[in-house]
Structures are given as C-alpha cells and as structure tokens.
Structure 1
Amino acid sequence: MQFKFIPLAIALAYTGSAGAQEVIKIGHVAPVSGPSAHLGKDNENGAKMAIDDLNAKGIKIDGKPVKFVLQLEDDGGDPKQGTSVAQKLVDAKVNGVIGHLNSGTSIPASKIYYDAGIPQISPATTQTKYTQQGFKSAFRVVANDAKLGGTLGAYAVGKMGIKKIAVIDDRTAYGQGVADEFAKGAKKAGGGVEIVAKEFTTDKATDFNAILTKIKAKNPDLVFFGGMDSVAGPLLRQMKALGINAKFMGGDGMCTESLPKLAGAAAANGVVVCAEAGGVSGEQQKGMDDFVARYKKKYNADVQLYSPYVYDALMTMGTAMQQANSAQPAKYLPVLQNIKYQGVTGLISFDAKGDIKDGALTLFTYTDGKKTKIEVIH
C-alpha cells in the first residue's frame, strides 16, 4: 500500500477553504473629523456593534458562511470630501453603504451610489430632497425635515403658545431645510404667530453677536436654530450673555447629550426644546434601553444621538441580504425596498421614495444638564 504525501502548504490551503467565509463589505461614512466628530464617532460605534451582532449570528448566504466587515470613511461633514469617499467605496466594490450623517454630504454622494447600483441607508439625513431625487437605492431610517421641522413649528405655537419667533440657520442643506420647514409649520399652526427675524450664520462660526443683537431688538419669545450642536451650544451661551431670555428650539442636529456641555448654564432647565428624528415608547423602550446599556458597557460612553439608527440601518441591510439569499446589490435591493425589520428604534419599512414609513419624533428638553424626554409624536 502506497501513501500519498501532500505538501503541508497545500494541505492547509485545502482544509482552510472548506470553512472559508465569503466577505461582505459594508461602507460606513460619517464625519469623524471636524466640529461634528463626536457625532461621527457615535455613528461608527453603532455600525461596529451591528457588524459584531451580525457576525455572531453565524449567517449563511447561498449556503456559504459569510463575514461582514466595515470599511470606515470620514467625510468631515464636507460635500467635496463626501463625494470623494463615496467614489472610493464604489471603487472598493462595497456591497452597501450606511451613511452619510449630514444632508449636505449624503445628497451629492447618493448620486454616486445610485449610478453604481449600491444601496445606501442614511441613519441621519433629514433633508427632504434626499429621497426626492428618484434614486431607488437611497433610504433613510429617520423622519425627514418636513415632518421634523413642521412638527416643531406646530408644537411651538400650539403647545408652547409662542407668538414671536426668530429663526437662524447655518446655511447647510440640513440647517436651512429644517429651519424653513419649521417656519412653514409655525405659520400653518396659526395663532397669530409672527416670524420677527430670519438670520443665518455658518456651520463653523463662533461669534454670533451681530445677528443676536438684531434679534434682541425684536424681543422674540423663541429662537429656532437650524444646525448642529457644535454651533448651537456657543450660540445659546451668547444669547444668555446678551440677555435674550427666549426659549431655544432646534432639530435633531443639536438634540444631543453634548449640548449642555457646549452651552453651559445657558441650557438651564426647560430653556431648550428639541426633536430627535425617531422615537420609541411602551414595549419598544426596553429594546432601546438594552441598546444604550450595551453601548455604555462596550465603549464606556453614552449614546450621543444617531448610533441606534446606524445600528438599525446596518441590521436592516444585513437582514435584506439574508432574505434575498444574496449580498449582490441588484439581488437584495428589491427585498430592501419591501423590508419589515423590527429594530431598536422601531419598525423599519420604507415607502416608495425610500422614506421610513410612519417615522416617529421624540421631543426633548434638558433638566439638570441631562437630556429629558417630553413626548413621542407619531
């Protein structure tokens, strides 16, 4: 009897191939540099948690074990950088993209993903234009500006009894969009409300004295700001320093755990009212509480804002691949369009445009330096 010897390298290669995993590459884009880096890092953390959970499931697609991997990219919140990293992800042949955070980067990048046939789920883009471009590859898991801004406008007039409003935006796609929708919502609510001032700044500004001095002369009951927390905090500080005693309202971009640190004593109890584009209540609250606790244990940090939505976006994409039995974009995209996934932020399903169906909003204020829920609005 003759024994056939197989060289060790060949033997190892052969045995290794039997359990070889197919790699599914997911791109993730957020600003991990610049003024919103703390939010971008929060997003990345949510994506990493989802990847770990998907891989822990031991998923098989088309009968083969798969491994999900992340390709992390930084768009710095800059539209040019955003399109550059979008092309980089396309060239890397990713199977899908989670991102971007800012509307100003997500909207131009969405054309690049659409042209390449790569599904994109944004966990944070609220500008209405994002899903109105006719791109069947673009989805979002949060309510859009029309709902977010409009609801805040109606709440300010109807629930808070506001009569005189000053509006400031940072001229970004997100900031201008949510501010415009807020003004529309406030006017639609009636009640004799008056927009007494409309001013704008930039997303990198630090000195607001000129516009705030103009606003002070108008004596508003409320100042609405369209922009991110990195500008909202200093703006609120300077309002207090100038003796403007109006309420301060804004959208999800400023509705973060960091706002009290950025605003200091100016974010006194009940001064700020803001909305997060999502929300859970009742039985769903336990799932969100569990996520927050897991996040804290894993990163020794609090959830800032969007990480639960990033987590849900990625888990939704992974589920669509499982149901389609394929990670090829052309094969799982039709499944994604009709998905129903119960996430930590609620039920994820999309309308014909890619907007989340029945998107909820949560209104918050700040009490003793902590973000405090007011109510969930559907």
Structure 2
Amino acid sequence: MRVRHLAATSCLLTALSFGVAACGSDDDDSSGGSGASTTSESSSSGGSTVTIYSSLPLQGDSRPQSVSVNNGEELALEKAGNKAGKFTVKFVKLDDATAAAGKWDPGATSGDARKAAQDKTTIAYLGEFNSGATAISLPILNEAGILQVSPSNTAVGLTRSQGADKGEPDKYYPTGKRTYGRVVPADHIQAAAQVSYQKDNGCKQLFILNDKEVYGKGLADQVAPIAKAQGLTVIGNEGIDPKAANYRALAGTIKAKGADCIFFGGITQNNAVQLWKDLNATIPSAKLFGPDGVAESAFSEKIGSKAEKQTYITNPTLDPKLYPQSGQDFFKEYKAKYGADPEPYAIYGYEAMSIALQAITDAGDKGNDKQAVIDAFYKIKNRESVLGTYSIDENGDTTLSDYGGNRIEGGKLTFDKVIKAATS
C-alpha cells in the first residue's frame, strides 16, 4: 500500500470526525490542469458503457433543489441520446444526506465517493452540491483518478490558494494531480458581487454572520476584506450555532452595534430561516443579504412576507431571457417535461452533465479511460453552452463571472439585476 494512500485513509477519518477534509499531500504538483497527463490501460474500463454518478442531498430542505439539479442532469443526458461519442452512458443518482442530519452528511458523502471509486465503469462524478461535502469526497475521487464536476460548489479553496485556508487546495488532491472542476463561479466572484449589491443598496455598517461550514465561513471571510476595501465598515464577523432555538439575543447585539446591513454566509439547512425571522423581528429596518446557499424555495417560501422586504440574495442563475437561445430553451423544456419551473441550480446540473459528456466525447476512442477524460475536460475552451460561452481554466474553474441579484416576492425568488463583480 502506497504511503499517500495511507495518508488519504487517515485524512478520511479526520474528515468524518470534523465534517471537513484535512488531507495533505507530499506532492507539490497541484498547479494547472491534471499534472503530468499520460493515459494508461489501468485507468480504462475497457467497455462500451460508462457510468456517471450524481451525489446530492436528497433529504431535508435541500431535496427540492437537488431533485431539480438531477432533473437538469437527466435532461442533458436524454438530449444526448444517453451517449457520449461512441460510448453509452449510464446515470446513477446517489444521496449524500441522511434523515437524521436533514442535510449532507460526512458519512453518506464518503460512502457515495467510495461507491463511485469502486465501480470500474465510473467515468465522472457530478457533485457535491455543498462545498463542505466536496472537501470530503474529492480526496477519495482524486485517489481513484475520477473526474469530478460540481454544479454548485463555490468555496475558493477547492481550486485556488488565493483567499483560501492554509493547505488548500493541495490537501484535496493527494495524487498531486487535478481531477476536479465546476461550472459555477467560485466565491471570490460571489463575494465581490455581494459587496457590489450591498453598496448599490446603500449599506454603510455591515455585520457578517456565517454557519461555520467550509462554504459559509469561507464566503464570509471573502466578503469581509472586499467590503472594507470598498468603504464599508465591517462591525462583526461571527459564526452562529446552526442548532440554536432562536437568534433573538444575537439580533439584539447586532442592533446595538448599529448595523444597517447584515450578511449571512451559509446554507438554508443551517437554520437560516429562523435567523431571518429573528433578525426581521429585532431589526426590521436592516437589509438582509444572503448568498446562493439560501437561493432556493426551502428558504424563500418560509421567511415570511415581512422579512422578504428586507432580503437581497446573490445567485449565479440569471433571468432566462439573458441566456443564449439554448439556455432559454432549457427553461422551456424543463417546465414541459417536469411540470414546474426549475430551482436555480437546475441549469447548472444540465451544464455539469453536458460538459462531462463533452469531455468523454473529446477523448475519442479513450472515452472510457478516466485519465483521458480528465485531460479532455481541462482542455475545454470557448464552450458554447446553455450558460453562455466559457472556458475551463488551469484550476478547473469556469471563466464565467456574472452574478444575479435577487429579491423575494410572494415566497419566490425574483430576478433583480445582473451584478458585474469587481474581483480586483
């Protein structure tokens, strides 16, 4: 057994204990693309059928959004005739949540990743939805040499060292080679969009909260310095207890500090609805800002009509009419097939599947070879997609950068404006 494999096993145990990955690597080659990219017979399934796995939280408040993402993925595969080049594609949907947690769970997530890693026909893995979950599955899939494409991860540390925690992103890549990418802009883009939205709405005194997870805390820590650099006064940056019965005392403290705007870095499933209700009751004049982690019906339908008027959400999904024709067609086809409008991330599920299929197709006769498909993914440039034209950069990130500002009306997210994020 290789030393780095032992390290990865140790890292997994740590991840399961703390809900985040703590994986290091003795290799320094984690820059650009997939490292020294040579294909081999050992990474090939040798068959004409390949499998793409999806891992999303299908229990708790995340379920409506996740089902919509899976629907988008299925729609893309169906449109491709269940084929990628000469290969037939099998699609398997996994659940990274548990009923007990009511959201993504470390054990379920690692179980999904191991299942895909142990299947010799696996060619790609679409997930996770939550960045904290990917911090657990990514090292496992990286060891197995499987392309992982997320429709929704935004934590910068999964792909970039700038603005990331110590050891990121290298600790997620025990092989020293990159195997991960995403079709949604990372949080250095969202943080800049958030601050732009806050400034546009007259914020002066900003209090920042986070849910202490990889995604939420990471985003909060991105927002704080950008807000300061752009002239806002940041009067607090605190983590909340996601299991608290209420946040009335916290809301009182924030009110006493004179905040006119409050930003929450976190997800719906970490008690965001209760937080919003208590902030509304205590500081009804403050503007409340949330990220894409709460851009879903499980949040918008529950905060109440009074809190709606205070609420501003950033979300990478734009107004349908702002997408190219293929994107506009997606919204029509989705509603025709599933009888309802898609949740915000459904179009990103469609694109995650579509770009994985392109990578398989671009690999040609080696479309059943894991390394060949990874190499093909990192070479994708100027892809014309439902989201617009973009490339995959050396980190595995999309070059798309536009964000949407959203309000809530009658329990539904409504598009407000396009935000051009000033990341510099």
Identify whether the pair has TM-score above 0.5, normalized to the shorter chain: yes
Evaluate the alpha carbon distance shift between residue 59 and residue 333 of structure 1 in structure 2; reply closer, same or farther with a 3 A threshold. Answer: closer
Higher relative contact order, structure no. (Cα contacts within 8 Å, ≥ 6 residues apart): 2
Q: Does 1:247 align with 2:287?
A: yes
Note the aligned Cα RMSD (angstroms).
2.2
Give the residue type in structure 2 aligned to 1:91.
Q
Q: Secondary structure at the match of 1:352?
A: coil
**Does 1:227 find its partner at 2:266?**
yes
Deviations 1:218-257 (A, max 9, x none): 2311110111234333322222222432111011111224
CA distance in 1, matches of 2:222, 2:131: 15
Please say if residues 197 and 405 of structure 2, whose CA atoms lie closer than 8 Å, have aligned partners that are also in contact.
no
- Superposed, which structure 2 residues align to 1:155-304 within 5 Å? 155-157=197-199, 159-190=200-231, 193-230=232-269, 231-269=271-309, 271-279=310-318, 284-304=323-343
Say if 2:313 and 2:407, in contact at 8 Å, map to a contact too.
yes
What residue is the counterpart of 1:51 in the other structure? 77
Distance in 2 between the 1:285 and 1:228 partners?
29
> Aligned partner of 1:131: which letter?
T
Q: Does 1:90 align with 2:117?
A: yes
Correspondences of 1:5-44 after superposition (within 5 Å): 22-44=48-70
- Where structure 1 has 5 or more consecutive residues not aligned to the other structure, the ranges are 1-20
Amino acid at match of 1:99: G
The 2-side partners of 1:285 and 1:339 are apart by 19
Residues 320, 327 of structure 2: 8 Å contact kept? no
Q: % of aligned pairs identical?
A: 27
Q: Residues 108-150 of structure 1, C-alpha deviation per residue, up to 9 Å, x if partnerless?
A: 2111111111000111111111113254111011111111012
Secondary structure (helix, strand or coil) at the match of 1:152 reads helix
1:85 deviation in Å? 1.2
How far residue 352 of structure 1 moved from its aligned partner, in angstroms, is: 0.7
After TM superposition, give the deviation of residue 75 of structure 1 in Å. Answer: 1.0
The aligned residue for residue 5 of structure 1 is none
How high is the TM-score relative to the length of structure 2?
A: 0.77
TM-score scaled by structure 1? 0.86
Equivalent residue letter for 2:129: L
Verify the 8 A CA contact 1:140 1:355 in the aligned structure 2.
yes
Is the contact made by 1:150 and 1:184 (CA closer than 8 Å) also made in structure 2? no
Which letter maps to 1:154?
Answer: S
Instruction: Give the distance between the partners of 2:243 and 2:67, measured in 1 at CA.
Output: 19
Residue number in structure 1 paired with 2:105 = 78
Structure-2 separation of matches of 1:38 and 1:283:
24
Change (3 A) 1:204 1:293: farther
Sort the Cα spacing of 1:73 and 1:233 in 2 relative to 1 into closer, same or farther, 3 A.
Answer: same
Distance in structure 1 (CA, Å) of the matches to 2:394 and 2:319 = 24
1:292-331 mapped onto 2 (5 Å cutoff): 292-325=331-364, 326-331=367-372
* Distance in 2 of aligned mates of 1:88 and 1:60: 25
d(CA) in 1 for partners of 2:353, 2:153: 15
Mapped to 1, the partners of 2:408 and 2:215 lie a distance apart of: 23
1:86 and 1:27 map into 2 onto residues whose CA distance is 9
CA distance in 2, matches of 1:316, 1:172: 28
Preserved CA contact (<8 Å) 1:291 1:344? yes
Within 1, Cα distance between the matches of 2:351 and 2:281?
41
- State the SS of the aligned residue for 1:207: coil
Q: Write the distance in 2 (CA, Å) between the matches of 1:104 and 1:375.
A: 29
Corresponding residue of 2:18: none
* Greater C-alpha radius of gyration: 1
Any conservation in 1 of the 2:62–2:298 contact (CA below 8 Å)? no
Q: Is contact 2:331–2:342 with CA below 8 Å preserved after alignment?
A: yes
